[in-house]
Amino acid sequence: MKKNMGNADRLIRILIAISIGVLYYTGVIDGTVAIVLGVLAIVFLLTSFISFCPLYVPFGITTCKARK
């Protein structure tokens, strides 16, 4: 896998995942919405840690800086 996520993209995904966790912990979200957002948060964290988003590949998107 070639990295296709830059630092800003990774940071935004981690912040969104943390926000979802806080919303669940405080009881703002529950039920089916909490499950769906929880799965999304896990996916965001996993893709952030490996710096690769499979959905970027078909569209040719990359947020990494080009190496010289």
pLDDT of residue 65: 83
Domain assignment of residue 51, yes or no? yes
Cα 20 to Cα 43: distance, rounded to the nearest angstrom: 12
**Number of domains within the chain:** 1
Domain assignment of residue 18, yes or no? yes
Domain assignment of residue 64, yes or no? no
Domain assignment of residue 46, yes or no? yes
Full residue range of the structural domain in which residue 40 is found: 7-59
What is the 3 state secondary structure string of the chain? CCCCCCHHHHHHHHHHHHHHHHHHHCCCCCHHHHHHHHHHHHHHHHHHHHCCCCCHHHHCCCCCCCCC
Domain assignment of residue 67, yes or no? no
Q: What predicted TM-score, i.e. pTM, was given to this entire model?
A: 0.87
* Residue pLDDT tens, the chain, 68 long: 788 999 999 999 999 999 999 999 999 999 999 999 999 999 999 999 999 999 999 998 888 886 65
